[in-house]
Structures are given as structure tokens and as C-alpha cells.
């Protein structure tokens, strides 16, 4: 008997990411020193306080039973305190917070918890690939709202067709944005909340990069808008904020009915996050509340050096206000995939073609600042030699 994957499987994942991985293996096998600026995985370690808490927790033999699927009450209480400290938002840790194995865990399952076949979900284009993949898994249709430079990568809400809004269950956006590094102000969030209330639309905001902003800019929580909890939930991840990507720890906050629906689904899928990881997450948020711990300073320094080096190399790129990514328009005469491949094969630098994130990404590439400053400068030098 021949076993084949489901039709849904064939629709998952970006073939571009697989292609880039194959290019990288081929170049490495040729003995090239590859500088990987592709995947947005932090290269910095967690703080000493986080590591100390995790080491102590791993040694606690009482933590090796099944954790609760919603997360420990202590973790959720700390998350509530941190949200109030950071954004001034009041949250009920029992009903309005759900612990997750990374925000991708929640993003992947949310449509399953909320939608039925025939429903529509509005997602950004370009956007993080799990947004679209989660809809494939749930058998839900997507409507892609274009995000373009002429509108500062914000959606034009008035251009979404009324028939789409009538069928839409929720709308998902992400500011600061991966891959665009775009940001949104309070006026946009207020407009978005009013729009959602008018059209009885749930808002889902991915806030994974709230602590990675530059030049004095402090990203907002959507839940800061008055009445937002009536129509919104927000994902937050400790991956980027506290260099804990491998720990897989995040949480969903906001509307209690949505949080409850995802918790019910998750309770049938897994047993939650290892409690030692939750204790490390508690330490991360407590340290931040006491000492304003931030990785943004490191990434801002990298951004400044890298953007300047690319400028000297002949590639003019606007400096991003947030995230670990640079979203760069490519020179004329190339496609995103062509230039990404040639830069890897000729310069030994991995970058991601913009169309990996949607059709609107064609003409751009995403560059992750996940190497030490000296390696970023070397990457810029190599790219400059390729472009000259």
C-alpha cells in the first residue's frame, strides 16, 4: 500500500524556505563560510537570572509530572503583572491569559478553535507563514489584505469587501511586523477596534516584537485601546524579548471567550509547557519589571552598523524602527528569489526572498540581524562586492 500525505499537507509550508535551505547546504558543502541571516532565531543567550531560574527548576523533581494545559497560575499571574507594568492593561490571570508553547502554537491552532469550514479569516500579505498555514489546517478560507510601502505597510480597512467582512471570523495583524519591520500607532489601533466593533469582527494581534524597538519608540498593545478586550486578543512571546526562542514559551491574552476556546482545544492536544520553562519565563518577566531588561539596545546597535555598511556598499535601505529584521527593496532587474540565490552562491550570505511571505513580498528580501556586529559588517562587505 502506498501512503501519501493529505491534500492539506501539500498546501503547507513555503517551498521557498525549503529551496533556501537546499541552497545553503550546497554552498556549505563547497567549503564556503556561510553567514546565515535567514531565520529569525536570536543568537543572544538568555540573561543570567533566567538561566539560574531554569537550572534550579530543572533540579526540582516535583516538576516532572504533567503540567496544566492552561499554564501554572503563578506564570499567568506574572504575565498579568508584566502586562500591567509594560502596557497599563489589566488582565484576569485565570480567564484572560493562556500559556502557550511559543506563539506559533497558538497561532497554528486558533482558527481550529474558532472557525468552521466556509468561514473567512483576513490575514496580511506579506505575513508570517503560519498565519496562512493555520487556515489550511482548519479548512478555512483566507482573504489577503495587501500591505504596501505607500501606506506604511498598514492595511486599508475600507478596501476590504463587505461580503468578505460578512463571512470573516477574525482579522490577524502583526505590529511591529515580521517580515516588514513596520509599526502602527495608537490612531491605527483605535481605528482597527472601531472597525471591528462595526463589523462584529474579532481582532487577533501578534505582538511578538514589542520589546525590540529602536530610537526611543515603544510599541503599543492593542489592548490599551478602550474597549479592545470586547473584540480582541493578543499573542506575546518570550522568544525575541528575552532570547528564549528554544524554550517555546508564550501566552495569549484578551477576550475571555476566545482564550477559553483555545484553551479547550489545547487541552485535547497537549499537556502544556514544562514547569521549569514556565519558571524561567517568570524570572524573565520579573527581571524586566525590576530592571527594564532589554535586548533592543544590542539590535539597535547592529541595525545602525549594518544599515550604514550596506549604504557604503551601494544598497540604500530605510532603517527599521523595530524587530530583528530588515525589509529591503531589491535593485531593479532581479526577482526576490533570483537575488537571494545569487547572493548566497556568490557572497555566502543567506537572506530570505520576500515572496516567501506572500505575493506582495516580491521585489523585497528579508534580512535577519542575528549575527554579531562583525559578522554583519562582513556580510555587508560581501554583498557590496556582489552588487558592484
pLDDT score for 1: 77
Mean of all residue pLDDT scores within the chain:
95
* DSSP secondary structure letter of residue 307: H
Q: Tens digits of per-residue pLDDT, 59-70? A: 999 999 999 889
Give the three cell numbers for residue 353: 526572498
Q: What is the distance of C-alpha 311 from the center of its chain?
A: 27
Which ranges of the chain does DSSP label H, i.e. alpha helix?
7-11, 15-29, 48-58, 73-87, 103-114, 129-138, 162-167, 186-199, 238-241, 256-267, 275-291, 296-312, 336-347, 373-387
Query: Residue 320 contacts by C-beta under 8 Å, 6 or more apart in sequence?
Result: 181, 214, 303, 326, 327
Tell me if residue 151 falls in helix, strand or coil. Answer: helix
pLDDT tens string for the chain (388 positions)?
787 778 887 777 667 888 899 999 999 999 999 999 998 899 999 999 999 999 999 999 999 999 988 999 999 999 999 999 999 999 999 999 999 999 999 999 999 999 998 899 999 999 999 999 999 999 999 999 999 999 999 999 999 999 999 999 999 999 999 999 999 999 999 999 999 999 999 999 999 999 999 999 999 999 999 999 999 999 999 999 999 999 999 999 999 999 999 999 999 999 899 999 999 999 999 999 998 767 999 999 999 999 999 999 999 999 999 999 999 999 999 999 999 999 999 999 999 999 999 999 999 999 999 999 999 999 999 999 999 8
Query: Residue 193 contacts by C-beta under 8 Å, 6 or more apart in sequence?
Result: 203, 222, 225, 227, 228, 231, 232
Give the three cell numbers for residue 51: 538561566
Closest CA to 83 of 222, 242, 215, 279: 222
Q: Tens digits of per-residue pLDDT, 353-362? A: 999 999 999 9
- Is the bond preceding 176 in cis, omega lying within 30 degrees of 0? yes
Place of cell 505575513: 127
Give the three cell numbers for residue 256: 475571555
Element (H, E) at 123: strand 120-125
pLDDT score for 322: 97
Q: Which of these CATH numbers, 3.40.50.720, 3.40.50.970, 3.40.640.10, 3.40.50.10540, describes 48-291?
A: 3.40.640.10
Give the three cell numbers for residue 283: 524570572
Closest CA to 309 of 38, 37, 126: 37
Q: Cβ atoms within 10 A of the Cβ of 45, count?
A: 10
> pTM, whole model, 2 decimals?
0.95
Phi first, then psi, for residue 193 (nearest 5°) are -65, -45
pLDDT score for 14: 66
Q: Which fold has domain 7-45+295-387?
A: 3.90.1150
Tell me if residue 221 falls in helix, strand or coil. Answer: coil
pLDDT score for 292: 73
Domain ranges of the chain: 7-45+295-387, 48-291
Element (H, E) at 328: strand 325-329
Place of cell 508570517: 128
Amino acid at each position: 500500500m502506498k501512503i501519501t500525505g493529505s491534500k492539506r499537507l501539500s498546501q503547507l509550508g513555503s517551498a521557498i524556505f525549503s529551496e533556501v535551505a537546499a541552497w545553503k547546504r550546497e554552498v556549505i558543502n563547497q567549503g564556503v563560510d556561510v553567514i546565515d541571516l535567514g531565520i529569525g532565531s536570536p543568537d543572544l543567550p538568555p540573561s543570567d537570572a533566567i538561566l539560574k531560574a531554569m537550572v534550579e527548576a530543572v533540579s526540582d523533581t516535583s516538576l516532572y509530572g504533567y503540567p496544566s494545559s492552561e499554564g501554572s497560575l503563578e506564570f499567568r499571574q506574572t504575565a498579568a503583572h508584566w502586562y500591567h507594568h509594560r502596557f497599563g492593561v489589566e488582565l484576569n490571570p485565570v480567564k484572560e491569559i493562556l500559556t502557550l508553547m511559543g506563539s506559533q502554537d497558538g497561532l497554528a491552532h486558533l482558527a481550529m478553535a474558532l472557525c468552521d469550514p466556509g468561514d473567512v479569516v483576513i490575514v496580511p500579505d506579506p505575513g508570517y507563514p503560519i498565519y496562512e498555514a493555520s487556515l489550511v489546517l482548519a479548512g478555512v478560507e483566507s482573504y489577503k489584505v495587501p500591505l504596501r510601502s505607500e501606506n506604511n505597510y498598514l492595511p486599508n480597512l475600507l478596501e476590504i469587501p463587505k461580503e468578505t467582512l460578512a463571512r470573516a471570523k477574525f482579522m490577524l495583524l502583526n505590529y511591529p511586523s515580521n517580515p516588514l519591520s513596520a509599526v502602527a500607532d495608537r490612531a491605527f489601533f483605535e481605528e482597527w477596534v472601531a472597525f471591528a466593533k462595526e463589523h462584529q469582527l474579532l481582532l487577533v494581534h501578534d505582538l511578538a516584537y514589542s520589546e525590540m524597538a529602536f530610537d526611543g519608540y515603544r510599541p503599543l498593545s492593542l489592548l490599551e485601546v478602550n474597549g479592545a478586550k470586547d473584540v480582541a486578543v493578543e499573542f506575546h512571546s518570550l522568544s525575541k524579548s528575552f532570547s528564549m526562542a528554544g524554550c517555546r514559551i508564550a501566552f495569549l491574552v484578551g477576550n475571555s471567550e476566545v482564550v477559553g476556546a483555545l484553551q479547550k482545544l489545547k487541552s485535547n492536544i497537549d499537556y502544556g509547557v514544562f514547569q521549569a520553562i514556565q519558571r524561567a519565563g517568570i524570572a524573565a518577566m520579573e527581571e524586566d519589571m525590576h530592571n527594564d531588561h532589554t535586548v533592543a539596545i544590542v539590535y539597535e546597535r547592529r541595525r545602525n552598523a549594518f544599515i550604514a555598511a550596506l549604504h557604503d556598499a551601494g544598497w540604500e535601505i530605510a532603517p527599521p524602527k523595530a524587530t530583528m529584521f530588515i525589509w529591503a527593496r531589491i535593485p531593479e532587474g532581479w526577482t526576490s528569489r533570483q537575488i537571494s540565490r545569487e547572493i548566497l552562491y556568490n557572497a555566502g550570505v543567506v537572506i530570505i526572498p520576500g515572496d516567501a511571505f506572500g505575493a506582495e513580498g516580491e521585489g523585497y528580501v528579508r534580512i535577519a540581524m542575528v549575527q554579531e556586529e562583525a559578522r554583519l559588517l562582513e556580510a555587508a562587505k560581501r554583498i557590496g562586492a556582489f552588487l558592484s
